[in-house]
Amino acid sequence: MTRLLAEGYTGEKKTFAQDPWPELYEAMRLGLIMQGKVSGIEKSGGEVNLVVFIGPIKGMIPEEEIGLTEGQRPQFAVGNTVAFKVKHCDRAAGIVYLSRKEAMDEMSSRTWQELKIEAKELIELSERLRELKQKLNPKINKDEEVEEGDNKEDVSEEIPDLVAGETVELTDKEKEEIQKEIKEIQEKMREVGPVRTCVVKHVIQFGAYIDIGGISAFIPRSEISWGFVEDARDFLSVGDAFDVKLIDITENGATASLKLLLPDPWETADVKYAKGGVYTGKIVKELTSGMLVELEPGITAFAPHLPFGNPFPGSEVLFKVGRVNAENRRMNGWVIKVTRRAG
């Protein structure tokens, strides 16, 4: 038993507010990067200012200092934590003027310099991958990239970042060799990329936009979990912070994976799921030739159509394993009973 220090003492001590102005002046002098939560927006003379309180002191980020990307509006920041530098202190008025743009530019520059060293191999592989894809499909060009302000409901799992070049006719053998090298490079890229901490900035059905030290990156929904992800918004929210593994880097940003840092269920699938064994599962998708049954997050098996029609996705079933190929991440079998119908 610990000694009672004073009657009514619970282990928490009151903290007394200190004058924050010296810290703000020091941050301005040294050019330090700080952060705070945007509480709202104020309009003055036709300009929009973000309001950030630093203790009792009101901070203002003028519109030209927000650092908006194309198509982005100041409202995106309300309720979110943003980085900034202190540009001017008006102690008489009780206001400090801040710049998010300068903070993000410095963070981005610093991160790129670090990645040029620790992600050197990944960057080189990314460049080679684009060269090979360009040979296979010269019509794809850099202008086809999807920017943050565009409608992402039409994007694919991977966003191309290729430079247009001259059309070159390839033989079938040359195409086969290029496709083989592309596959090898893509596998290697998933191994060599560095791990970085990120914060989610925006989530759509097909994935999440994240910030990695001032650099914008994208997590496709296929890289969120080993399991089936229909909508990334069911898994991630704005403000979530976690580690990711970079799997592609270009001068315009990066692609990252969350699932590569999670245990891969296929590593033990051939032991866990025996041929002829019966396991509970859930139908997650109907196909032309059958349906996909999820036995656990990351383990999805193929089953042919049922004679009298398939139950809706979400239905729970008993699945009998026919064949397991853990190396190629494939499993097939049959639905032998529907235990709960969805819809």
Residue-wise pLDDT for 290-337, tens only, equals: 999 999 989 999 999 998 888 899 999 999 999 999 988 999 999 999
The superfamily CATH assigns to domain 119-261 is Nucleic acid-binding proteins (2.40.50.140)
Residue 302 CA to residue 304 CA, distance in Å, equals 7
262 compared with 19, residue with greater pLDDT: 262
Q: What is the pLDDT of residue 15?
A: 63
Pairing type for strands 95-99 and 57-62 reads parallel
Mean pLDDT for 128-157 is 61
Q: What is the pLDDT of residue 264?
A: 93
Residue 213 CA to residue 161 CA, distance in Å, equals 21
Give the residues across from 36 on adjacent strands: 82
For 157-211, the pLDDT digits (tens) are 444 443 444 556 888 898 999 999 999 999 999 999 999 999 999 999 999 999 9
Do the domains at 21-106 and 119-261 have one common CATH topology? yes
For 14-43, the pLDDT digits (tens) are 666 678 899 999 999 999 999 999 999 998
Residue 209 CA to residue 203 CA, distance in Å, equals 6
CB 321 within 8 A of CB 301: yes
15 compared with 137, residue with greater pLDDT: 137
What's the whole-number average pLDDT of the chain?
A: 87
CB atoms within 10 A of CB 90: 11
Mean pLDDT for 239-268 is 93
pLDDT above 90 (res 234): yes
Q: What is the pLDDT of residue 46?
A: 81
Residue 130 CA to residue 269 CA, distance in Å, equals 34
**Candidates 3.30.1280.10, 3.40.1260.10, 2.40.50.140, 3.30.230.10; correct CATH number of 265-340?**
2.40.50.140
Mean pLDDT for 128-156 is 61
The three-state secondary structure class of 341 is coil
Residue 85 CA to residue 33 CA, distance in Å, equals 5
198-202, Cβ contacts within 8 angstroms, sequence gap of 24 or more: 198/241, 198/242, 198/243, 198/244, 198/256, 199/239, 199/240, 199/241, 200/236, 200/237, 200/238, 200/239, 200/240, 200/241, 201/238, 202/76, 202/148, 202/238
pLDDT above 60 (res 50): yes
pLDDT above 50 (res 4): yes
Distance, first Cα to last Cα, the chain: 58
The superfamily CATH assigns to domain 21-106 is Nucleic acid-binding proteins (2.40.50.140)
For 264-290, the pLDDT digits (tens) are 999 999 899 999 999 999 999 999 999
* Domain edges within the chain: 21-106, 119-261, 265-340
pLDDT above 50 (res 220): yes
Residue 91 CA to residue 25 CA, distance in Å, equals 10
Residue 250 CA to residue 62 CA, distance in Å, equals 31
CB 56 within 8 A of CB 24: no
DSSP for 11-77, written as a single string: S---------HHHHHHHHHHT-EEEEEEEEEEEETTEEEEEEEETTEEEEEEGGGT-PPTT--GGGG
| % of the chain surpassing 90 pLDDT | 69
